[in-house]
């Protein structure tokens, strides 16, 4: 150590005293994340509200931290939660284990599972950090209806999956007809639109 080194050290301290603080004022000020930041997961829905998850468990198998638990079950004509044969009856992600690596969303064949930018996942309760399906499911948007209900976007799975994404939804066609003096009320009630439109 040279004779001047302590003074150089104090020089760094002294010059830093006049710099703008870099402290993040969290949680009062929340910094915006990068658009592709890996945060809390979300289970997505089709435009009629049915769930995209088909309970295949591929996400659970892909997870290196064993953080996902899935139990699938069969849909029936009377009780349908997804357009496939099966749906995810139980779905849990344990955020005590999750390392937010994103391998699960890569493994998902239906794009049911994606990740949001939400990063506030700390808690002082182990139970509260095991997120259930109800917590992970995307909110119902305009035109969606809470499952179980029939497939509103087509009679068959082919119709359902190959429909033009730009095409108006059945209940939108109904409201257009109403605007032109048609039978919108019939359409809306037939498809259940408008009964629950919570976000």
The site for ligand SF4 (CB under 6 A) is made up of 53-59, 62-63, 65, 67-68, 70, 88, 93, 98-104, 107-108, 110, 112-113
Asked whether residue 108 is marked as a ligand-binding residue, the answer is yes
Hey, which residues does 68 pair with through a beta bridge?
93
Distance separating alpha carbons of residues 70 and 110, to the nearest angstrom: 15
Give least dist CB 54 to ligand SF4, A.
Answer: 5
Give least dist CB 19 to ligand SF4, A.
Answer: 37
- The Cβ-side half-sphere exposure at 191, using a 13 Å CA radius, reads 25
Give least dist CB 176 to ligand SF4, A.
Answer: 33
Hey, which residues does 86 pair with through a beta bridge?
74
Nearer to ligand SF4, 105 or 188 (CB): 105
Distance separating alpha carbons of residues 29 and 27, to the nearest angstrom: 5
Nearer to ligand SF4, 91 or 171 (CB): 91
Asked whether residue 135 is marked as a ligand-binding residue, the answer is no
Q: Residue 140 contacts by C-beta under 8 Å, 6 or more apart in sequence? A: 45, 49, 146, 196, 197, 198, 199
Q: Which residues are annotated binding-site positions? A: 53, 56, 59, 63, 98, 101, 104, 108
């Amino acid at each position: 150590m040279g004779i001047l080194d302590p003074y150089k050290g104090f020089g760094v301290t002294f010059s830093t005293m006049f710099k703008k603080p870099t402290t993040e004022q969290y949680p009062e000020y929340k910094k915006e994340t990068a658009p592709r930041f890996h945060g809390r997961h979300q289970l997505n829905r089709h435009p009629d509200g049915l769930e995209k998850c088909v309970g295949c468990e591929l996400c659970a198998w892909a997870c290196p931290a064993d953080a996902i638990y899935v139990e699938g079950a069969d849909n029936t004509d009377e009780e349908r939660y997804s357009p496939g044969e099966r749906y995810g009856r139980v779905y849990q992600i344990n955020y005590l284990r999750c390392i937010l690596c994103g391998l699960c969303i890569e493994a998902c064949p239906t794009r049911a599972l994606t990740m949001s930018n939400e990063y506030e996942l700390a808690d002082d309760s182990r139970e509260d950090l095991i997120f259930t399906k109800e917590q992970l499911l995307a909110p119902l948007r305009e035109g969606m209806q809470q499952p179980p209900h029939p497939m509103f976007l087509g009679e068959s799975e082919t119709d359902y999956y190959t429909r033009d994404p730009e095409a108006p939804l059945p209940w939108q066609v109904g409201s257009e007809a109403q605007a032109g003096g048609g039978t919108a009320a019939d359409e809306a009630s037939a498809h259940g639109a408008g009964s629950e439109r919570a976000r």
